[in-house]
Amino acid sequence: MPTALNGEQWMAVLERLAKALPAEGSPVRLCLIGSAACLFGGMDGRTSADLDIWKPASDYDRLELALAAKEAGLLFDPKTTLEPDNPYLQLVEPGLTQLGEFVPVFVERLGRLHIYRPPVENLIAAKLIRAELKDLGDINFLVSRHRPNLQRIREIVASFELSAREKATENLVYLEVLKP
């Protein structure tokens, strides 16, 4: 497993990635899911070996991004093996991961690199599918930091494909415990 980085370390990596992109061209728009909202929101102790990029809400040239990632010391969308001590960018498409419909929320602009994330309600709904210990910690942080609309989370869960919807619906009980 590659070395996990905290939010400050990931921001430094994203700055290197932004500097590795050519100066000219369209904005490189990455919508980060998973742990990103917690990492960049200042969650104490939260680390991650990767940043998950939600492909449907991102806009980039794959070759350009892959080259910039390599120059910044990142693996780009590894599919088989990971290298020790190498953080990576992972491209994620709908399937096992469900987020529902959303308009991305702007996080940061670093030159041509524009960082977005889903609304907190969508992130929480997605984390309810797996609801492992790390996910529950993330949910707790997001609920305490952002005071999300709990009814909106339920609506998003209801929009998921059947198996994801069933798992997330069972785990909605965690929201009752964590009510702001």
**Domain boundaries along the sequence of the chain:** 7-118, 121-177
Write down the pLDDT at residue 40: 92
35-44, 70-79, 109-118 — most confident range: 109-118
Contact 145, 41 (CB under 8 A): yes
Phi-psi region of 100 (alpha: psi -120 to 50; beta: other; left: phi over 0): left
Coil, strand or helix: which one is 30? Answer: strand
pLDDT band for 16, please (50, 70, 90 cuts): very high
* pLDDT surpassing 60 at residue 148: yes
pLDDT band for 168, please (50, 70, 90 cuts): very high
Task: Name the pTM for this structure.
Answer: 0.93
Contact 75, 66 (CB under 8 A): no
